[in-house]
Amino acid sequence: MVIGLDIDGVVADFLSPFLSLLENEVGKGPIAAESLFSVDFTEHPILTKEAVKTCSDAVKRNPQFWGELDSLLSREQWLRLETLSQQQRLAFITHRSGHESYDIHRVTVEWLRTHGITEPKVHLAEATKSVFVDELKIELFVDDNYEVCREVAEQTEATVLMPHHHYNRRFSHPRVERIMEFNEIFIRC
C-alpha cells in the first residue's frame, strides 16, 4: 500500500508558530487553537483576511520558518515512516509554496531528513492534490485540510484520513475518516 501524507498539520506543527505571527500582527493574543473554526482562519473574532495574508506572505518569504517547524511525531513514528519510505511506500504531498529567493522543495526535503526520512519523496501541489494521489497510485491519503480531504475523496479511490484538529472539527464527509492518533495510520498499512 502506498501512503500519501500532507506535511503541515500532519507531521509538522505549522499552526503554533503561525498563530504567534498572527498574534504579533493583530497586536492581541494569545490566539488559542481552539478558537479556530476553519483552515483559512475565517470566522475568528479578531483575525482579518488582511492579517492572515500578511502573515502568509511573510512565511512564504522565510525559509527559516519552514526549516524550524517542530515535529508532531515521536521518534518511533518517524522510524516507522522511514521504513515505509525505504519500501517505496511513502510520498509527501504539500501545498507549501516558497519564494523565488529560495527552494521550498529543498527546505522541505532537508526538514524531513532531519527527522529521519533519508530519501523523502516530496511533491509540491500548486493546485489539486488528487492529481498526485492518482499519479502515484496512493491508496491511503492523510491531510488535515478538510477542503483537500473532500477533493481527494471525491476525485480518487484513495482512503482518506483526516487528523482531528480544532479547525476541522465541523467537517464531515462519508469518504473521509477522522483519526485521533497518528498511529491509526500504521494500523491501515
* Interval 42-67: pLDDT, tens: 888 888 899 999 999 999 999 999 99
Distance of CA 118 to the CA centre of its chain: 19
SS3 at position 158:
coil
Cell numbers that stand for 11 in this block: 507531521
Delineate the domains of the chain, giving CATH numbers in brackets: 3-13+71-188 (3.40.50.1000), 15-64 (no CATH)
Closest CA to 90 of 161, 185, 162, 3: 3
Tell me the whole-structure pTM to 2 decimals.
0.95
**Amino acid found at 105:** H
Distances (CA, A) of 138 to 8, 9, 152: 19, 19, 11
Confidence label for 98 from pLDDT (cuts 50, 70 and 90):
confident
Distance CA(49)–CA(78), nearest Å, equals: 35
Q: Are 159 and 119 within 8 A, CB to CB?
A: no
Distance CA(139)–CA(158), nearest Å, equals: 4
Q: Is 183 left (phi over 0), alpha (psi -120 to 50) or beta?
A: alpha
Over residues 129-184, the pLDDT tens digits come to: 999 999 999 999 999 999 999 999 999 999 999 999 999 999 999 999 999 999 99
C-alpha atoms less than 13 angstroms from C-alpha of 75 in its C-beta half-sphere = 0
Strands (E), the chain: 3-5, 12-13, 70-71, 90-94, 122-124, 140-142, 159-163, 176-179
